[in-house]
Structure 1
């Protein structure tokens, strides 16, 4: 056990942590910059400089994904390193940036958002999570993959089970079994689709990946299936919660909501500040290949390290007034915040920066803009949002009214 004071370090699996993770993060940063967490068999890193190093230093590998994610996705770019990683990333990343993103994906996002906005009542309460946020990202992804939206509930069930597997900090066997079943069912669904697109390609992303080639290297059917699985889960779960949390943060700060309503170009800054202030993905894991000296002690080779992204983003040494939501703060940038040079850690940093960052940016931007265009949102009478989750955190409901 690594101690920094006269009390044990906060436990990231405890009920107290679930109720107030940011209070626990502050204690960890101040007293336990390197802490051993027995229930997860992991070391905790909580300060920005240490989390940043773990995300950027090649000595901190992604081998943890061999047991954390590969059993439910197959082998994906998130666990690759070196030339293998750079080559496979080069095969998929062009579709998620620049002209390709805006020409192919933005019309799909706009159309799906318009269809879902029709479900929102002009009068009376509605749950933004159930009505809109959980549906838009998955609908967009199945559209760009060329899959039928009638199977939305299947996809949602699969990605929920897979995300639960990846977030299973205490190794609940029922969660593990459900995640493995979801992987098998999703593979049985997707692999025949990939084979069919090789024979008869269309204008969808699966067909694009079937044809992609870099330096004579192409993706196998299994790799395309694994990437589609990763996109469905990571892109669906995190973006639907990001929509919810951005809206919640703006509602909690009416002056900033009014500023965004008057100038929609501020939506990007609102999202970047949300990624800093209350990131959906609160933590990620790494595995060092050698013993590494960090603040507070030594991290042994091949141990598991939990990088507390949300704690790093509230580090007092990095941000002024870190516990305040302020989309105007000088430390953030509405453009750079979606790149590997971001001042926050929510998309990761360095070579494994999230390939879908700009897709998430586009989906959140369209969602907030369209919501504000139909009325002024406010919490329904008597409703108070409550965040849930440790690994991935957001309100499970956001009951609103429009005026």
Structure 2
């Protein structure tokens, strides 16, 4: 049986949007399984329950048929069994190993450098609009071999898709905009994909056109759907993580100083940010059969909202969970970007994020190059950073000051 605490702010309320973490604590302690009538979903808030939802086959991705497919089309993330295994195998190789190091890493480094060159001599930057919000989209467009002159179009599509996916209140205008984006994206991408099949290049789109596993290849529509998925899933985590990692470090100067001194600590700062202030706060699943969890029974066929932001602050799993600490002993760096991770920001098991290593590379490059350009960075005086978002969350704005490179060279 689930109990609804009347005085706990709803996850769609302004109070929750302002600061979800006290609400998460109440949910974990009082109602770890909560029926949420506005979204017709059950909320899971404890680490062990969310972890189970990502690993137990009883928690399926059937919900993606109505959550993702209308805006993206059908992709491997909503598939299961051999179909999922084969379709994922078509995609995964381009985001890891030699392909990542030799093809994608130079591209990531170039895109970060080009953006930073635009402000490294100015002494100030609004990090979200001038870097974090642009960097991952530029990388994805470059990876696919698309025209970066259409950046504004891709940015608009990205924002529209993310708004559609996070539309928990079912705003009809947000829904309509997302559906229009799918049509616009298809009209743009399908002709490009057909041309690319006839003239292959050294880019991700060409790799997808030629990928084959056990005689299975990807159709034009499957490639288009995957490109649409990359625009949202591939950009949203990195977009918000760049600003969140830097903000968390700025709020803990001794940890920032350690990262400035030793760049090998950047992955640890990223991992701790994924636990402490994860860019993706929640992921949905759908149960096949009745499932018993902390706090009660989830009926067969129900939608479940797995509160990643809450699981990362669960004192049953982490010591002093409300403290940001890149040196904490209860997060394992060695497995943090694999399906065996002990944080939950990339999900786990068979549906672990296929782009986790790409995200790691992007964060390492972005934070490393930003610290090279502004090792004495500081938040603009009298500015108080504010996080925003329910489904995904991150700093709205982050104005920074630093000593311009040319002045550091003179001194």
TM range (shorter): over 0.9
Q: Does 1:108 align with 2:114?
A: no
Determine the structure 2 residue equivalent to 1:250: 249
Alpha-carbon distance in 1 for matches of 2:346, 2:278 = 9
Alpha-carbon distance in 1 for matches of 2:211, 2:369 = 34
Q: How many residues align?
A: 402
Determine the structure 2 residue equivalent to 1:169: 168
Deviations 1:52-105 (A, max 9, x none): 111111111101111111000000111111101000000000011111101010
**How far apart are residue 121 of structure 1 and its match?**
4.5
User: Which stretch of the first structure deviates more once superposed, 172-181 or 196-205?
Assistant: 196-205
Alpha-carbon distance in 2 for matches of 1:396, 1:264 = 26
The answer to whether the Cα contact below 8 Å between 1:54 and 1:307 also exists between their aligned partners in 2 is yes
Determine the structure 2 residue equivalent to 1:382: 382
Determine the structure 1 residue equivalent to 2:191: 192
Determine the structure 2 residue equivalent to 1:327: 326
Alpha-carbon distance in 2 for matches of 1:8, 1:301 = 29
Unmatched segments (≥5 aa) in structure 2: 404-411
Determine the structure 2 residue equivalent to 1:396: 396
The answer to whether the Cα contact below 8 Å between 2:50 and 2:307 also exists between their aligned partners in 1 is yes
SS of the counterpart of 1:39? Answer: helix
SS of the counterpart of 1:338? Answer: coil
Q: Does 1:86 align with 2:85?
A: yes
**How far apart are residue 9 of structure 1 and its match?**
4.9
Determine the structure 2 residue equivalent to 1:291: 290
SS of the counterpart of 1:120? Answer: coil
Q: Which runs of at least 4 in structure 1 moved beyond 2 Å after TM superposition?
A: 6-10, 121-125
- Normalising by structure 2, report the TM-score: 0.96
Unmatched segments (≥5 aa) in structure 1: none
What is the CA RMSD across the aligned residues, in angstroms? 1.2
Alpha-carbon distance in 2 for matches of 1:195, 1:356 = 25
Alpha-carbon distance in 1 for matches of 2:361, 2:192 = 27
The answer to whether the Cα contact below 8 Å between 2:120 and 2:373 also exists between their aligned partners in 1 is no
Determine the structure 2 residue equivalent to 1:140: 139
Alpha-carbon distance in 2 for matches of 1:207, 1:131 = 30
Alpha-carbon distance in 2 for matches of 1:382, 1:181 = 41
**How far apart are residue 331 of structure 1 and its match?**
1.3
Alpha-carbon distance in 2 for matches of 1:373, 1:209 = 35
**How far apart are residue 335 of structure 1 and its match?**
3.1
**How far apart are residue 333 of structure 1 and its match?**
2.6
**How far apart are residue 310 of structure 1 and its match?**
0.9
Determine the structure 1 residue equivalent to 2:55: 56
**How far apart are residue 124 of structure 1 and its match?**
4.2
The answer to whether the Cα contact below 8 Å between 1:10 and 1:28 also exists between their aligned partners in 2 is no
**How far apart are residue 8 of structure 1 and its match?**
5.3
Alpha-carbon distance in 2 for matches of 1:159, 1:364 = 19
**How far apart are residue 43 of structure 1 and its match?**
0.4
**How far apart are residue 252 of structure 1 and its match?**
0.6
Alpha-carbon distance in 1 for matches of 2:326, 2:141 = 32
Deviations 1:239-286 (A, max 9, x none): 111111001101010000000000000000000000011100000000
SS of the counterpart of 2:359? Answer: helix
The answer to whether the Cα contact below 8 Å between 2:236 and 2:279 also exists between their aligned partners in 1 is no
Residues 237/325 of structure 1: CA separation in 2 closer, same or farther (3 Å cut): same
Alpha-carbon distance in 2 for matches of 1:265, 1:91 = 31
The answer to whether the Cα contact below 8 Å between 1:332 and 1:343 also exists between their aligned partners in 2 is yes
Deviations 1:204-235 (A, max 9, x none): 11111111110111111110110111011111
Alpha-carbon distance in 1 for matches of 2:97, 2:269 = 21
Residues 337/173 of structure 1: CA separation in 2 closer, same or farther (3 Å cut): same
Q: How does 1:265-284 map to 2 (within 5 A)?
A: 265-284=264-283
**How far apart are residue 25 of structure 1 and its match?**
0.3
Alpha-carbon distance in 2 for matches of 1:8, 1:303 = 25
Deviations 1:4-38 (A, max 9, x none): 7x645541111111112000000000000100111
Alpha-carbon distance in 2 for matches of 1:42, 1:153 = 35
Determine the structure 1 residue equivalent to 2:408: none
